[in-house]
Amino acid sequence: MADIRVAVIGVGNVGATFVQGVGYYGSGKNTMGLWHQKVAGLKPSNVRVVAAFDIDPAKVGRNLSQVAGESTKKYHDIKDPKIAVSPGILADSNGKIERPAKASPNEFAKELKKSGAQVALNLISSGMDRTSLEYAKAALTARVSFVNATPAKVATNPALATKFAASKLVLAGDDLLSQFGGTAFHKGMIDFMVERGVHVNKSYQLDVGGSTETKNTMAERIRMLKRGMKTDSIGMEAPYKFESVAGTTEYTDFLGDLRNSYYWMSSEGFLGSSIVMDLTLRTSDGANAGNVLLDIVRAASAKKVKAGKASEVISAYGFKSPPKKFKIREAYSNFVSMFA
């Protein structure tokens, strides 16, 4: 079966972990921790990273295997072909990187097309909304399916979604829902309590992390945007309204790629008896994203599903703010039925 050729945009902790995961599971020797062995009939060994883009001058021009090994925890030695990290697009103001290595949207589109990529993963930092949109438009020009892991309104842009569907390309997003991250776990717990007849009254989720993504989320605009997306995603799991707040509350540099999520859920059982949960979840941001991304790129390459329908099902399965929302159990069931 032909390989799925993937371009990684943003070689941070998530991009680096994804690249390591493709190598680790692609050998076929390892299955522990792999969510789905096959998606759309494709194995991890069918996934091949063919291009990488970034604006950090310390990464651009260097071999992807070296950059990925330095950008996050080293899980696996990467033995890739000599893929050099190319300059990316920058359409937002950026004061964090001195002299960023930039390419124009046209230059990026040409390089993307030249790589032969079929799917582009947008894994850049939150808050770079214009940049994410430019990447999506350039991917459309290069006729490459696009996956938006950021909160930028890309997949939920009706005009852009129509253009991708007309070109028979998948457009999936927005804001990645990790395999067992804070929001997925919160949604799952609310779903389970409702199913067991427990009435949820209030809940909150507070996240503390040490990644660059968490640091960027501390900007008030981004923090409130992501809080709204997470809260809306969690609230839909109950057939009634309940008070809920979810969001990143603090950046702690020494945590690195790790994230601590704190939950408190107040509910009522039989005869109004009190049921309160106070929980802590510790996970790795990069690794938590890897399984979902590996599923998404394989699903985006499915040959027998119309691009518009594939985009809808993939987005509901893998993202917090998809164009068409489903409860977590239904979204998963739809994805498995169509792809896995």
- Average pLDDT (102-121) is 98
Boundary of a domain, candidates 255, 284, 313: 284
Question: How many domains are there within the chain?
Answer: 2
Residue 77 confidence (pLDDT): 79
pLDDT > 90 fraction of the chain, expressed in percent and rounded = 77
CATH number of the domain residue 253 falls in: 3.30.360.10
Boundary of a domain, candidates 245, 269, 284: 284
CA-wise closest residue to 129 among 71, 173, 181: 173
**Residue 60 and residue 8 share a domain:** yes
Residues written for the chain: 340
- Average pLDDT (235-243) is 95
Residue 76 confidence (pLDDT): 80
- Average pLDDT (160-177) is 97
**Residue 294 and residue 319 share a domain:** yes
Residue 95 confidence (pLDDT): 58
Owner of token pair 């991250």:
181
* pLDDT higher than 80, residue 72: no
- Average pLDDT (286-292) is 93
**Residue 219 and residue 170 share a domain:** no
**Residue 291 and residue 279 share a domain:** no
How far is residue 319's CA from residue 175's CA, in Å, rounded to a whole number? 5
* pLDDT higher than 80, residue 96: no
Q: What is the pLDDT of residues 53-66, one digit of tens each?
A: 999 999 999 999 89
Query: Which comes out higher in pLDDT, residue 237 or 247?
Result: 237
Distance of CA 88 to the CA centre of its chain: 19
**Residue 203 and residue 139 share a domain:** no
Residue 80: pLDDT band (50, 70, 90) is low
**Residue 262 and residue 223 share a domain:** yes
Count CB neighbours of 137 within 10 A: 18
Residue 218 confidence (pLDDT): 83
**Residue 244 and residue 108 share a domain:** no
DSSP E strand stretches across the chain? 4-9, 47-54, 85-87, 119-122, 145-148, 171-172, 199-209, 243-251, 258-268, 274-284
List phi, psi (to 5°) of 299: -65, -35
**Residue 317 and residue 238 share a domain:** no
Domain with 256, as residue range(s), is 182-284
Count CB neighbours of 102 within 10 A: 16
Residue 14 confidence (pLDDT): 94
**Residue 8 and residue 108 share a domain:** yes
Out of 5-9, 110-114, 205-209, pick the least confident. 205-209
Compute CA distances 224 → 126, 228, 246, 291, whole Å.
Answer: 12, 6, 10, 27
Query: Which comes out higher in pLDDT, residue 267 or 70?
Result: 267
Boundary of a domain, candidates 237, 254, 284: 284
Residue 178: pLDDT band (50, 70, 90) is very high
- Average pLDDT (290-298) is 97
How far is residue 170's CA from residue 185's CA, in Å, rounded to a whole number? 27
Q: Six-digit token pair at 116?
A: 């032969």
**Residue 151 and residue 41 share a domain:** yes
Q: What is the pTM of this model?
A: 0.92
- Using DSSP, state whether 218 is helix, strand or coil: coil
Residue 29: pLDDT band (50, 70, 90) is confident
CATH number of the domain residue 118 falls in: 3.40.50.720
Read off the DSSP letter of residue 124.
P
**Residue 73 and residue 36 share a domain:** yes
Say if CB 140 and CB 120 are below 8 A apart: no
Out of 6-15, 144-153, 204-213, 222-231, pick the least confident. 222-231
**Residue 135 and residue 8 share a domain:** yes
